[in-house]
């Protein structure tokens, strides 16, 4: 009964103390595309993605009811960093939904001029406001409406202590007349948050290597649940306990009803190990999973294991190729920074096309045969299927006139025309391809079917094409799997390699693109297409994530274009992330929103690109 009364009291006091308007809330999910386009159109950094900001404690004075309810301690404010433009996951500060909508667009425009200089919060936001209103006068009316509504929601000056009242008066003056206040009066507490301004102290995560050298645990195949929540949560890395000083907890964990921060505790295994039971379990198990522990065991079992050798991973083709990588902070290429390791599936067996794809493949081959150039006559040949009458008449006339004439080139031959085209397909085989599209199919299965149908279609045209897959585990090695080279004919052997593809590790896309560009540029074709198939953004275990990975990939695409290649990206990223225009440019990518459509859409897309 007491718990029920307490719960009802908490709900009531929290509802009364709430100063937000959830019924008028606007969410970042519905505004992300709009503010992203607006931010870039106004001159914002195209490499920044739009993402949700995490809530932070503001430390300002709260009302009596809010203190009783324990609410309104945290707030989501906008800021930008090297990776993202951070905006609140939802905005419900105002009773009118239109005003909450205006605030998203205002914050995006305000952030355009922020270059993260070291500057006082008050003067910086005034400067940005003045610049925004000057550069984009059409937004002035919206700004005035936002200021008027926000001032009505702020804590009245006469309800604050003198020092805090002076702070509040200065902020109100700065909002109404940006640029008129040059310093913020000192007070014991921080000022009331200003949602119309950027964050005074943006939370910056501490970088960490995360012990990236041993990440096999990330390859689990258990169920994955995606949290339907756009808000980001601040986090830090913590070391897993090493089982050295094991403690004793004398309470039942199910009696604890609260969440808590991580503590370096450990539930160890049994101290007294029953070797007889372990031996019995060994006899009953068909397959054993073996892992290393940081602590020696008291007892041991000795038996033979048939473990796969690490050398039996895949067939390595050579010692590797050193390639540079672009460091966007230093604005230079780091030479010999990555090692690309060409590989081939060791267990691939020649095979026929899967039965489930034969009907679709037959239709695609029939369509692609229309792309094959018509047969044309080649005249003036030394040998051919028919006599070239025009050449013969000229030869006979010259002889009759007494002129010496060579008898070469008196034949013509009917030959099939060749398309002056070469294509290299580079497929992302990273860990993310192990996710499920539906109850029966994974992303890697969709990619495998796409490669099958792509190869079947292009083999009908006679176009030169090659196929490779890639994944990485930091900068050494970047594994590039050879599926089909330009010199190979499409055959059962190639189909066997396609059938053997499996999810790898991570996505160091820049190195893979550079290696593919080096292969493609050697092809003697007038048009060379680099087709990149991926399901996500560039990322790896080290610093190759976020802005660093995006900028290196963008640089690799730029280098490919300088070589005369035509890069084009096909992505099945469910989020259709807004970094694609920055990476590949307008018109150089396409998003397949339903992954199940990729096997049929990929060959048709190639036909459009090469028509």
Over residues 179-202, the pLDDT tens digits come to 999 999 988 889 999 999 999 988
3-state DSSP call for residue 468?
Answer: strand
At 217 the pLDDT is 43
At 176 the pLDDT is 95
At 128 the pLDDT is 94
Q: What is the mean pLDDT of residues 434-445?
A: 89
Confidence of residue 325 (pLDDT cuts 50, 70, 90): very high
**Of the given ranges (109-123, 228-242, 305-319, 564-578), which has the lowest mean pLDDT?**
228-242
3-state DSSP call for residue 267?
Answer: coil
Q: 532: which strand partners?
A: 426, 569
Alpha helices in 18-161 (DSSP H): 28-41, 64-69, 97-112, 121-135, 140-153
Work out the percent of the chain whose per-residue pLDDT is above 70. 76
Q: What is the mean pLDDT of residues 252-273?
A: 50
Q: Residue 83: which of 433, 539, 428 has the closest Cα?
A: 539
**Of the given ranges (37-46, 152-161, 384-393), which has the lowest mean pLDDT?**
384-393
| pLDDT greater than 50 at residue 40 | yes
- Output the CA–CA distances (angstroms, integers) from residue 380 to 386, 405, 419, in the order listed: 11, 14, 22
- Output the CA–CA distances (angstroms, integers) from residue 22 to 19, 51, 97, in the order listed: 10, 21, 10
Assess contact for 527 and 562: CB atoms under 8 A: no
CA separation for the pair 477, 214 (Å, rounded): 14
CA separation for the pair 582, 36 (Å, rounded): 12
Identify the residue with better confidence: 261 or 283. Answer: 283
Confidence of residue 414 (pLDDT cuts 50, 70, 90): low
Count of positions (residues) in the chain: 611
Confidence of residue 283 (pLDDT cuts 50, 70, 90): low
Q: Which residues contact 101 (CB under 8 A, 6 or more apart)?
A: 26, 31
Work out the percent of the chain whose per-residue pLDDT is above 90. 44
Q: What is the mean pLDDT of residues 313-327?
A: 89
Alpha helices in 370-475 (DSSP H): 389-400, 443-461
CA separation for the pair 202, 593 (Å, rounded): 34
The phi and psi torsions of 253 (rounded to 5 degrees) equal: -60, -30
Assess contact for 28 and 108: CB atoms under 8 A: no
Rounded to 10°, the helix 121-135/140-153 angle is 140
Q: What is the mean pLDDT of residues 129-139?
A: 94
Assess contact for 310 and 462: CB atoms under 8 A: no
At 546 the pLDDT is 84
Q: 57: which strand partners?
A: 74
At 215 the pLDDT is 46
At 208 the pLDDT is 47
CA separation for the pair 558, 603 (Å, rounded): 25
Q: Which helix (H) or strand (E) holds 371?
A: none
Q: What is the mean pLDDT of residues 584-608?
A: 89
Q: The whole model's pTM is what?
A: 0.69
Q: What is the mean pLDDT of residues 85-110?
A: 93
- Output the CA–CA distances (angstroms, integers) from residue 410 to 387, 390, 401, in the order listed: 6, 8, 18
Q: Which residues contact 396 (CB under 8 A, 6 or more apart)?
A: none
At 319 the pLDDT is 87
At 202 the pLDDT is 85
At 271 the pLDDT is 47
At 73 the pLDDT is 81
Q: Which residues contact 287 (CB under 8 A, 6 or more apart)?
A: none
What is the dihedral sign for C-alpha 34, 35, 36, 37? positive
Q: What is the mean pLDDT of residues 145-164?
A: 92
CA separation for the pair 538, 518 (Å, rounded): 20
| pLDDT greater than 60 at residue 427 | yes
Assess contact for 443 and 411: CB atoms under 8 A: no
| pLDDT greater than 80 at residue 463 | yes
Q: What is the mean pLDDT of the chain?
A: 82
Assess contact for 211 and 217: CB atoms under 8 A: no
Alpha helices in 177-264 (DSSP H): none
At 517 the pLDDT is 97
| pLDDT greater than 80 at residue 295 | no
Assess contact for 553 and 583: CB atoms under 8 A: yes
Q: Which helix (H) or strand (E) holds 166?
A: helix 162-176
Q: Which residues contact 290 (CB under 8 A, 6 or more apart)?
A: 305, 307
| pLDDT greater than 50 at residue 264 | no
Identify the residue with better confidence: 93 or 224. Answer: 93
Confidence of residue 376 (pLDDT cuts 50, 70, 90): low
CA separation for the pair 414, 97 (Å, rounded): 71
At 488 the pLDDT is 93
Q: Residue 389: which of 398, 399, 379 has the closest Cα?
A: 379
9: its two tokens: 């009291």
Q: How far is CA 375 from the centre of its chain?
A: 45
At 84 the pLDDT is 86
3-state helix, strand, coil in the chain (%, to 5): 40, 15, 45
Q: 23: which strand partners?
A: none
| pLDDT greater than 70 at residue 57 | yes
Most confident of 26-40, 247-261, 300-314: 26-40
- Output the CA–CA distances (angstroms, integers) from residue 223 to 155, 219, 232, 434, 435, in the order listed: 47, 12, 22, 11, 9
At 234 the pLDDT is 52
Task: Write down all domains in the chain, each with its CATH number in brackets.
Answer: 2-176 (no CATH), 321-370+420-609 (3.40.50.410), 375-416 (no CATH)
Confidence of residue 391 (pLDDT cuts 50, 70, 90): confident
Assess contact for 533 and 602: CB atoms under 8 A: yes
């Amino acid at each position: 009964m007491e718990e029920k009364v307490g719960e009802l009291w908490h709900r009531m006091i929290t509802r009364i103390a709430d100063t937000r308007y959830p019924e008028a809330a606007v969410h970042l999910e519905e505004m992300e595309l709009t503010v992203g386009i607006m931010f870039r159109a106004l001159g914002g950094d195209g490499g920044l993605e739009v993402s949700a900001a995490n809530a932070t404690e503001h430390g300002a004075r709260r009302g009596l009811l809010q203190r009783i309810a324990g609410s309104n301690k945290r707030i989501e404010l906008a800021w930008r960093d090297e990776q993202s433009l951070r905006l609140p996951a939802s905005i419900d500060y105002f009773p009118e939904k239109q005003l909450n909508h205006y605030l998203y667009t205002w914050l995006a425009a305000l952030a355009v001029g922020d270059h993260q200089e070291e500057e006082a919060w008050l003067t910086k936001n005034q400067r940005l406001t003045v610049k925004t209103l000057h550069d984009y006068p059409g937004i002035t009316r919206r700004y005035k409406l936002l200021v008027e509504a926000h001032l009505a929601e702020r804590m009245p000056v006469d309800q604050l202590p003198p020092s805090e009242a002076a702070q509040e008066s200065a902020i109100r003056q700065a909002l109404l007349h940006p640029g008129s206040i040059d310093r913020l009066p000192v007070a014991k507490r921080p000022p009331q948050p200003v949602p119309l301004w950027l964050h005074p102290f943006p939370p910056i995560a501490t970088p960490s290597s995360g012990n990236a050298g041993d990440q096999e645990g990330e390859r689990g195949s258990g169920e994955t649940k995606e949290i339907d929540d756009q808000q980001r949560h601040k986090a830090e890395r913590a070391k897993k306990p090493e089982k050295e000083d094991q403690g004793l907890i004398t309470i039942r964990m199910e009696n604890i009803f609260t969440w808590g921060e991580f503590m370096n505790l450990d539930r160890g295994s049994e101290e007294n190990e029953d070797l007889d039971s372990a031996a019995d379990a060994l006899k009953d198990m068909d397959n054993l999973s073996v892992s290393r522990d940081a602590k020696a065991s008291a007892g041991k079992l000795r038996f033979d294991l048939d473990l796969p050798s690490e050398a039996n991973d895949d067939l390595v083709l050579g010692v590797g190729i050193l390639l540079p990588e672009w460091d966007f902070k230093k604005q230079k290429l780091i030479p010999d920074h990555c090692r690309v390791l060409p590989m081939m599936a060791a267990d691939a067996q020649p095979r026929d096309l899967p039965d489930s794809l034969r009907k679709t493949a037959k239709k695609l081959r029939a369509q692609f045969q229309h792309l094959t150039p018509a047969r044309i006559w080649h005249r003036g040949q030394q040998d051919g299927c028919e006599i070239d009458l025009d050449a013969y008449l000229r030869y006979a006339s010259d002889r009759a006139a007494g002129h010496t004439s060579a008898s070469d080139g008196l034949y013509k031959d009917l030959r099939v025309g060749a398309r002056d085209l070469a294509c290299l397909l580079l497929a992302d085989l990273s860990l993310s391809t192990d996710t499920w599209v539906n109850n029966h199919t994974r992303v890697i299965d969709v990619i495998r079917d796409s490669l099958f149908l792509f190869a079947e279609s292009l083999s009908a045209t006679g176009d030169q094409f090659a196929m490779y897959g890639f994944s990485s585990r930091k900068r050494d090695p970047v594994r590039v799997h050879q599926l089909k080279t330009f010199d190979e004919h499409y055959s059962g052997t190639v189909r066997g390699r396609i059938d053997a593809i499996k999810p790898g590790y991570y996505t160091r896309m820049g190195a893979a693109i550079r290696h593919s560009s080096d292969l493609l540029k050697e092809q003697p074709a007038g048009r060379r297409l680099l087709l990149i198939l991926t399901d996500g953004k560039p990322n790896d275990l080290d610093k190759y994530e976020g802005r660093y990975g995006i900028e290196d990939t963008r640089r690799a695409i730029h280098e490919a274009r300088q070589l005369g290649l035509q890069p084009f990206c096909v992505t099945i990223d469910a989020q259709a992330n807004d970094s694609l225009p920055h990476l590949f440019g307008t018109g150089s990518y396409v998003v397949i929103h339903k992954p199940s459509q990729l096997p049929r859409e990929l060959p048709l897309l190639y036909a459009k690109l090469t028509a």
